[in-house]
Amino acid sequence: MKRIILTLIFSSFIFANDQIPAPPQKHPILLKNGIIHTVSNGVINGSILFDKGKITHVGEYISPPAGAEVIDLEGKHVYPGFIAAVSGIGLVEINAVDVTNDHSERGDFNPNVRANVAYNPDSEIIPTTRSNGVLIANVAPSSGLVSGQSSIMMMDGWTWEDATFAHPSGLHVNWPGMGIQSGGRFRMPADKQKKRRQEALKGLDDMIKEGRAYTRLRQTQSRKAEDYHHEDLRLESLIPYVQGKRPIYVHANEVRQIEAAVHWANRHEVKIIIVGGKDAWRTTDLLRINKVPVIYEGVTALPNRRFEDYDQAYKGPALLHEAGVQFCIASSGSAGGAYRVRNLPNQAAMAAAYGLPKDAALRSITLSAAEVIGIADRAGSLESGKDATLFISTGDPLEIRTNVLQAYIQGRKIDMNDHHKSLYHKYQEKYRQLGILEE
């Protein structure tokens, strides 16, 4: 039975309430008469059909199957959900209130830490984030030298189990500073800084060596129940990384950090992804030759050095694109910047304004992000067989005036309420009552 229900898309804008996780998709949904931005195969003026959480058809004309819900978009736009390649969303609520933060563990070496078990699906940051089209996030812990393992989470779910898209997505390492800090309120003596750096680098080398030794031990041991009490959870978690099956996310911004991390990865034959990459534009040949992807953070950041151009961070993605380095854009990977994830499309838009081609800017927060974090077979573009994780908007989502009207995550129709909309309607009503706004 066909139902034209586009007006219902806007109903959540009128009545604000607490976010309610969506139920599984119960019937096929056909979005017709829209502008479909597939990312992978250009733009199609037509329709998209999805059922049981998967996209089944994308094309100019699609006949609705029996029992389908048909939504006439009347020329509105459909995009794949944006992907935050690294984020602290769900692990932090209020930075200044410790009890709302669950992004860190004590100690410098915690490879066994899992981000998804600490993820809070009821975070107030999540609804405002998905209102800007961000529907998937690679959520990462953030403390110590080896922080732990990130998890790819969907921006909807009753529990962390419901919200988990994939785990683990990678191991996170905070690369030590390679220079000597001479300023700052709590300046440390140069010799002590060097000693700390050497200890940290040795610790990373030892981590790989011990992980490999443990992996060989586990391969020779039988897997009988009595053997399990000999397992070391920290070393156990390193097995897929020392085997090169999963990537290590190296958080590094300064050029010497990036160069040292790439040489370290080559020496130990492990896969890495550079996170941050503020100086990546200075090492493009090294990154391209060694096929090291970059998750570029902070497009709107200040320059690193006095002699750099004021727009050096803005044009960083364009320089990586021109050099042929695989990259994507993230707003902020630190747990403290969880609220900034909603600005992800604005970061891509700024990169586009400073030289990155517009299609590459859109790709940098959709398909390119999916490729870097390893989920391109299910997300990042609108293709048959991929998850129906997408949103409907009034126009180009990289334009600040565009509104996201409705989102779907694996075919589930998402509650689009958030705190910002609630306050908007509250004070809109206030000024109506005062006679300042007309009915």
Answer for the pair 46, 34: CB distance below 8 angstroms, yes or no.
yes
Domains 1-80+380-439 and 82-377 in one fold:
no
The pLDDT of residue 9 is above 60: no
The DSSP bridge pattern shows strands 82-87 and 43-51 to be: unpaired
Residue 272's closest CA among 260, 254, 256?
Answer: 260
Sign of CA dihedral 136, 114, 332, 208: negative
Region of 107 (left: φ > 0; alpha: ψ -120 to 50; beta: rest) is left
Answer for the pair 408, 136: CB distance below 8 angstroms, yes or no.
no
CB crowding 313-336: b at 16 or more within 10 Å, else e: bbbbbbbbbeeebbbbbbbbbbbe
Instruction: Check residues 96 and 348 and name the one with the higher pLDDT.
Output: 348
Q: Name, in order, each residue with C-beta under 8 angstroms of 53's C-beta and a sequence gap of 6 or more.
A: 24, 25, 387, 388, 410, 411, 412
pLDDT single digits (tens) 132-162: 999 999 999 988 899 999 999 999 999 999 9
Q: How far apart are CA 199 and CA 177, in angstroms?
A: 12
pLDDT of residue 140: 93
Mean pLDDT over 359-375 rounds to 98
Scan for tokens 């961000």, then name that residue: 134
Region of 36 (left: φ > 0; alpha: ψ -120 to 50; beta: rest) is beta
Q: Residue 408 is inside which H or E element, if any?
A: strand 404-409
Sheet arrangement for strand 164-174: 82-87, 134-139, 146-154, 164-174, 248-252, 272-276, 294-297, 327-330
Which amino acid is located at 154 in the chain? M
Residue 151: DSSP 8-state: E
pLDDT of residue 40: 96
pLDDT of residue 184: 67
pLDDT of residue 291: 97
Instruction: Check residues 10 and 23 and name the one with the higher pLDDT.
Output: 23
**What are the boundaries of each domain within the chain?**
1-80+380-439, 82-377
pTM score: 0.91
Q: Please report, rounded to a whole number, the percentage of residues in the chain having pLDDT higher than 70.
A: 89
Scan for tokens 């933060």, then name that residue: 101
Q: How far apart are CA 173 and CA 107, in angstroms?
A: 13
Residue 5 confidence class, pLDDT cut points 50, 70, 90: very low
Both tokens assigned to 393: 């908007």
Q: What share of the chain is helix, strand, coil (3-state, %, to 5)?
A: 35, 25, 45
DSSP helix/strand/coil, 242: helix
pLDDT single digits (tens) 163-192: 999 999 999 999 998 888 777 666 788 888
Average pLDDT taken over every residue of the chain: 89
pLDDT single digits (tens) 386-404: 999 999 999 999 999 999 9
The fold for domain 82-377 equals TIM Barrel (3.20.20)
Question: Dihedrals φ, ψ of 13, to 5°?
Answer: -75, -20
Both tokens assigned to 411: 């075919």
The pLDDT of residue 226 is above 60: no
Full DSSP string of 78-113: EEEPEEEEEE-BTTBS-TT-GGGB----SSSB-TT-
pLDDT of residue 339: 80
pLDDT of residue 331: 87
Mean pLDDT over 82-106 rounds to 77
Both tokens assigned to 428: 């809109």
Q: How far apart are CA 146 and CA 111, in angstroms?
A: 6
The pLDDT of residue 294 is above 70: yes
Residue 276 confidence class, pLDDT cut points 50, 70, 90: very high
pLDDT single digits (tens) 40-68: 999 999 999 999 999 999 999 999 999 99
Q: What is the number of H-type helices and E-type strands within the chain?
A: 12, 16
Q: Report the CATH superfamily, name and number, of domain 1-80+380-439.
A: Urease, subunit C, domain 1 (2.30.40.10)
